[in-house]
Amino acid sequence: MSIRLGDEAPDFEQDSTEGHIRFHQWLGNSWGVLFSHPADFTPVCTTELGLTAKLKAEFDSRNVKALALSVDPVDKHHQWIEDINDTQNTTVNFPILADADRKVSELYDMIHPNASATLTVRSLFIIDPQKKVRLIITYPASTGRNFNEVLRVIDSLQLTDNEKVATPGNWLPGDRVVIVPSLQDEAELASRFPQGYEAVRPYLRFTKLK
């Protein structure tokens, strides 16, 4: 199944380290980060899950739930969590799906046969409270993800959902943003951006939100 931006994230039921999960119900009114791992007891995944645990306060402040996935069973996940907690000096505080039957992996197209016929690639999906897919990133198994970028994208999505702006390349919270080209009404521009804006070109207008 091919998933594209704007699609409804497929619902599923699957066991996890925190019990049986019905995905849409579990997500509720939160944003979600669903991300896959090739297998348990692998070095890059161990660092990623440790980092995710350490970022819980950052995710919570953005109303985001993290949900990991590996194709191994629950009992093996629990053994792996002990290693993660020990080696990464943290406590895993989010569920890890036990996708031994590959149900979720196949539903979300996480298995790429030319990379591996059985193991998932490092897929990551950001899903909004309306259950829409807002970001898809796929890394090779050898490359760990940049979770600062994941947080940055969430910040951008949440900002631009509420303001008629977009975020430029390398944007970070607090930086200038660009006004969407479709906004041309001068009265609305003045109302939305009383601080003013810089028009470098008619289509390229920068402003800084308060």
Active site residues: 45
Q: What are phi and psi of 178, to 5 degrees?
A: -110, 140
Q: Which residues of 162-199 are buried (b: 16+ CB within 10 A; e: fewer)?
A: eeebebeeebeeeeebbbeeeeeeeeebeebbeeebee
Q: How far apart are CA 23 and CA 125, in angstroms?
A: 13
Of 13, 9, 33, the residue nearest 101 (C-alpha): 13
